[in-house]
Amino acid sequence: MSLDDQLSAFLGETPKRSRADLIALEVMQRAERRAFVERLVLSAIGAGVVALVLWACAPVLNVAVFTIAPSLVSIASVLTIAAAVLLIGAPSLWSQSLTPRR
């Protein structure tokens, strides 16, 4: 702790940031921003590749979905009803305590 920091602490003031700290902070922010943009670009490229593969496989996937779909209708309807009940009734269920009241 430098003498300036000690004096600032004694007087109850916030110590001033040095110019080197501000430059280091700016450099770190730029580096993080660059890394974020790189990850974002890679994610966008990956999503594009997946979209192209799915588009290329669409004829085969359509046949597979049409053959499997009739057997999954009942399961999908039960899951849809269960989700609707949870969404509609959840606020009243969450407001009540799970422990019995005396």
Residue 91, pLDDT > 60, answer yes
pLDDT(99) > 60: no
**Collapsing DSSP states into helix, strand and coil, what is residue 61?**
helix
- Does the pTM surpass 0.75? The reply is no
List, for residues 21-67, the tens digit of each pLDDT value.
888 889 999 999 999 999 999 999 999 999 999 999 999 989 988 88
Separation of alpha carbons 40 and 37, rounded Å: 5
